Chains A and B, each alone.
Chain A
Amino acid sequence: MALLEVDGLKTHFFTDKGQLPSVDGVSFTIDAGETVGIVGESGCGKSVTAMSILRLIPEPPGRIVGGEIRFEGRDLTRLPMDELRKVRGNDISVIFQEPMTSLNPVYTVGDQIMEAILLHQPVEEEEARRIALAMLERVGIPAPEQRIDEYPHQMSGGMKQRVMIAMALSCKPKLLIADEPTTALDVTIQAQILELLQELQREEGMGVMLITHDLGVVAETCDRVVVLYAGRVAETATAIDLFDRPTHPYTAGLLQSIPDRASPGARLFTIDGMVPSPDKFPSGCRFRDRCTRATEACADMPPLHDLGGGHKVWCHHPLTAAESAALSPGGEH
């Protein structure tokens, strides 16, 4: 049994513009010890999917209108609130994109880490402080005895993100949801944080759901990848298969538009237009307005192509093996 099974998740928002299908039938699984990347442009539903798992979607206007989210076999969408609270922060933790705004400025970082420990674990304050201190040391914060009593504004961005990680991991979660954990950081700090996450994951064997728009980060850290487009899964595969054989035109377009795959100074491949807002999603295949391969058939729901080995694509006109081979870095293109 997978650690997390998201099965046909539908999270819709009920607004003046009508019912907006921001996440509309998304399915994927995460095993223990596995890192699964959730990829797509802004507005593809990555963060809404993550928030739905912990039921952090503001209600109204949002609501989970369909599907199941099974964590160790239990459906989180039907769990009573007091049961859910025991899962949040204990079995499943989140790291948000903005370390600057997700820490409370009026409490010391030690207080904030200890709060989660005291809430979920049967320990006294003294023991909680000891655990918090060990966690700060574990995530590589220098002089933790001094830092534990400091406030967030006294720390740099990389340091705050480490505090967020320490907080998220203090209860040894089975699943970590990391929503763009390194986007706001410089590359040398990003390298430190990604290294740290991988190390901690190896030791603790937790599953990681990594939300990112950076395909470089995906290639370096993920075992499997789920490509979202306009609230639906376009393609899912192992990281190696996805970069070797991108089969959905959207995946292929994303990979081709990365500058380091093109020869210097050449025009880059682009996907025309941008992700439509949820009130303007086209019927059938939602990518068809931007797709160069689209035909009339694309007005119907795209069929599933199963390429084996967990590589699945939802498209009327997927790329052939030869076409996608020409796109890979070692290929002719």
Chain B
Amino acid sequence: MDDTKPILSVQGLKKYFPVHSGFFRRQTGTVKAVDDISFDLMPGETVAMVGESGCGKTTAGRTILRLLEPDGGKVMFHGVDVAQLPAEELRQLRRYMQIIFQDPYSSLNPRQTIGQIIGGPLLLHKLVSTWEEGEARAKELLLKVGLQPSYTSRYPHEFSGGQRQRIGIARAVAVNPDFIVCDEAVSALDVSVQAQVINLLLDLKDEFDLSYVFITHDLSVVKHIADKVVIMYLGQVVEKASREDLFGGARHPYTQALLSAVPRADPKAKKRRIVLQGDVPSPINPPAGCRFHTRCPLVHARCRAEVPAAHAVSPGHAVSCHLYDGRTEAVNLANPGGILDGLPR
């Protein structure tokens, strides 16, 4: 595999949902769930997409896999635009791109045995020719994810949340994919089980040469596993950086607030928490200009009028905020000094 080219390149991806209301169910608005996002995933890399509920991270993940039809932009996978691919070719390509879902309770078919759940995709993609072969392969995979091979004859309801998540992982890696979208794959689990599943994902990444798109709201998990981080707010990317740059020198006011809001497991840590006012606005009528301006402590006139462009503050680190138009050093949100002096408010 060529390690210098991205395995996946998302370019200006858009996904809009129509909003209908009234007696005739006329379209009365549009939810711009994903509005022009771009990032590259290199072989062997983990890119984390981070944001609060409603920011469009899950929709983005599903649109990348074309489980939802995109409304604009490109998803280049091995040089092919997944967004334009005819159905049959897409079906063949699916083998190389898999997904692990958040809810291990609703993502496994309750009427299928574990053997069928894991072996089914193998048969579908003609990687095995009989159910018996699929079942045998399922046993090997169960062993790999830390479960007993004999579980192939059991049903999903017999397992705990952590075990089901392992089954979902076995199903995803069964067809030997190149990359996996992990949609909040560890969010519903207790800390000790979460640690087990994170370790499993790290091990499988090495063993199967996987790349991950990791969708989560949990920044401590991101800090642990991500190589690159994409911070989303209301359908748009506000900041993009390597893990070191993001956790060491976050630029965007939203990223800084998000990082400071994460409770740290150290009662003696003295820190200034930046508490944002208000809720995330509705994505049906997102604020004009910078979408974060309604909650931003450093809002000024330009933010309300003009959509901020992505400004590069260092190689691989881009931030969409007017404060960084011509500035690269971080503005400390907790102590901004006279940063807004002279700017029209």
Contacts and interface: CB of A to CB of B under 8 A. Distances in A.
Contacts of B264: 216, 219-220, 260
A264 interface: yes
Given A159-B279, A192-B275, A270 B265 contact: no
A41 B257 CA distance: 28
A213 B202 contact: no
Interface residues of A, number: 48
- Chain A interface, >50% SS class: helix
B221 interface: yes
A244 B219 CA distance: 23
Nearest to A272: B196
Nearest to A240: B267
Contacts, number: 125
A186 B217 contact: yes
B273 A259 contact: no
Contact of A220 (B53, B192, B267): B267
Nearest to A262: B224
A274 B160 contact: yes
A141 to B, nearest CB: 11
A191 B160 CA distance: 31
B314 interface: no
A221 B126 CA distance: 55
Contacts of A244: 268
A166 B308 CA distance: 38
A220 B279 contact: no
Contacts of B280: 186
A65 B203 CA distance: 47
Contacts of B199: 267-268, 270
Contacts of B198: 259, 268
A214 B220 CA distance: 12
Interface residues of B, number: 41
Contact of A187 (B195, B219, B268, B278): B219
B195 A260 contact: no
Contacts of A222: 267
A108 interface: no
A173 B204 CA distance: 51
A100 interface: no
B263 A214 contact: yes
22 contacts: A186-B217, A186-B280, A187-B219, A187-B258, A188-B52, A188-B257, A188-B276, A189-B52, A191-B276, A195-B273, A219-B263, A243-B266, A243-B268, A254-B191, A257-B194, A258-B195, A258-B220, A260-B224, A265-B202, A270-B199, A272-B196, A274-B193
Interface of A: 41-42, 142, 156-159, 186-192, 194-195, 213-220, 222, 239-240, 243-244, 253-255, 257-262, 264-265, 267-272, 274, 329
Given A189-B52, A192-B276, A218-B265, 19 more contacts: A41-B192, A41-B193, A157-B53, A186-B217, A188-B258, A191-B260, A191-B275, A195-B275, A216-B263, A217-B263, A253-B192, A258-B265, A259-B221, A265-B202, A265-B224, A265-B225, A271-B192, A274-B193, A329-B265
